[in-house]
Amino acid sequence: MTDPFERLRVGRTDVAVTRLGFGAASIGGLYHVVDHEVAMDTVAAALEVGVGYVDVAPQYGLGESERRLGEGLRGVPRDRYVLSTKVGRLIRRSGDVPPGADADAPPEQFPGVDPDLRTMWDMSRDGVRRSLDESRARLGIGRIDIAYIHDPDDHMAMALDEAAPTLVALRDQGVIGAVGVGANTVGVLHRFVEQADVDVILLANRYTLLDQSALATLLPACVERGVGVVIGGVMNSGLLADPRPGATFDYVEAPPELVARAQRLAAVCDRHGVSLKAAAVRFVLAHPAVVSVLAGVRYRARLEEYATLIATPIPGVLWDELRAEGLLPDEAPTPVA
């Protein structure tokens, strides 16, 4: 049985995250407006069940997730939790965006956000430092344990040449605890693992029961170089939680062939008395590179459910049957029964 609150060190740093982490994007209104009281209750639930790792970003709710998370953590002993946020995007009012800057209007994923706000891409040295200062102010928390470069796909040169070295210097000075990069693109993350002095990556959607595209190259590179892996999107944005027509995969409606595959996965799980969600979480945690899974939830009950899923025993024959049916690669690590 896996302990959801076991702490594992990130790379060669002293930062140690719990197997179960809380992803705070949803409390900032990801896809649905979330009442403030509901958001506060979810943060409280994370602490109550034993979560010791929380992740957020300026992009989430264009600052609202950080403000709410900070409020929920107020008064909690600082050694009780590890906190990560991200750099690469600054939040600005439209009138404060310099001419020619690469800025985006509020994304559709966050309904209810002030339409005058903008996300301004900035992976320069000054931008990284400014981003961390602004995150600390929104959170009301002085120390950031892990700083991730957020979705650097379209800004690779500056991210590798300026953002990553700036974070490494801040880590070496003791300002932050660990350097990371977060994306859902395997090739992008692989470049950082090989070319930058990162301690951890946040891999979204690319290592799940439905998508093992990180298995062949990225995850072995992380094991070889001692880079920790935090998994986001373990349910592929919904399809593995509820495999039905109309469910989402990577935040859009899943194609019929993926729905059918997810339903085949669920059928095998049903035959062994295991929920598909439990198998999905336990599967990713079996890889030796993976240190934590983020539960990106907006309600207390869902967070409590994740703790139960991680602790669910899975019979070894379930994984054998998934391999026999061609639903899981032979080389994919699976939990020991």
Which of the residues are catalytic? 60
Its sign, for the CA torsion 302, 307, 311, 317, is positive
Q: Is 246 exposed, middle or buried (0-12, 13-18, 19+ CB in 10 A)?
A: exposed
CA distances from 303 to 45, 58, 106, 211 (A): 7, 22, 27, 23
Its sign, for the CA torsion 29, 31, 34, 39, is negative
What distance in Å separates the CA atoms of residue 186 and residue 216, rounded to the nearest whole number? 10
Closest of 330, 325, 311 to residue 268, by C-alpha: 325
The neighbour count for residue 110, using CB atoms within 10 Å, is 22
Q: DSSP assignment of 43-78, as one string?
A: HHHHHHHT--EEE--TTGGGGHHHHHHHHHHTTS-G
